[in-house]
Amino acid sequence: MRSNLTRAVKAGLFFCLALTFYKGFMKLPEVYPVLEPERFYRGQVNDGENSLIMKERHFDFNYQTGKALELRLLEMDALDQTPAPDSLVTRDRVERAIKKTWAKDERNADSLVLAEEKLARARRMQAENWSLGWGVCDPLAPGTGGAK
């Protein structure tokens, strides 16, 4: 009885190890685009699209937040409101929040450009049927010391 249980555990461990090896092997850039190109490229493009969508959302949300803060500041000016110095929303805090959203807008705009580049790169890889290949390095690739 004990040897059957030991064999079953060993077989289970071997199966798990083989499955882990297979999953890891299929993630290699030399293997994945060659054996499952459609799935590989679809994953790359989907990742680029999702990244771009999220960056656009971050940019839009922050931009609208900045506009709302600017509107609040204009309302405070129009109504000639001056909050108490110890209140939660003071003129100084609103002005700093607006400057902060401007800085975030710059960062989010840069992230948006990077996401667009990532998506373009994924689509280009798909169009070219890119694969890392099996060689250690391509002697004709730029920057590898090969032919110039």
Q: Which domain holds residue 122?
A: 35-128
Whether 22 and 80 map to the same domain: the answer is: no
Whether 25 and 47 map to the same domain: the answer is: no
| Domain count across the chain | 2
Whether 101 and 50 map to the same domain: the answer is: yes
Phi, psi of 15 (to 5 degrees): -60, -45
- 75 within domain boundaries: yes
Angle, nearest 10°, between helix axes 91-128 and 37-78?
160
At 10, list the tokens: 């060993």
pLDDT digits (tens, 9 = 90+) for 36-52: 888 888 888 998 999 99
The reported pLDDT for the residue numbered 138 is: 53
pLDDT digits (tens, 9 = 90+) for 117-139: 999 998 998 888 877 766 555 54
Residue 27 burial class via C-beta count within 10 angstroms: exposed 0-12, middle 13-18, buried 19 and up: exposed
The reported pLDDT for the residue numbered 136 is: 52
Return d(Cα 19, Cα 92) in angstroms, integer.
59
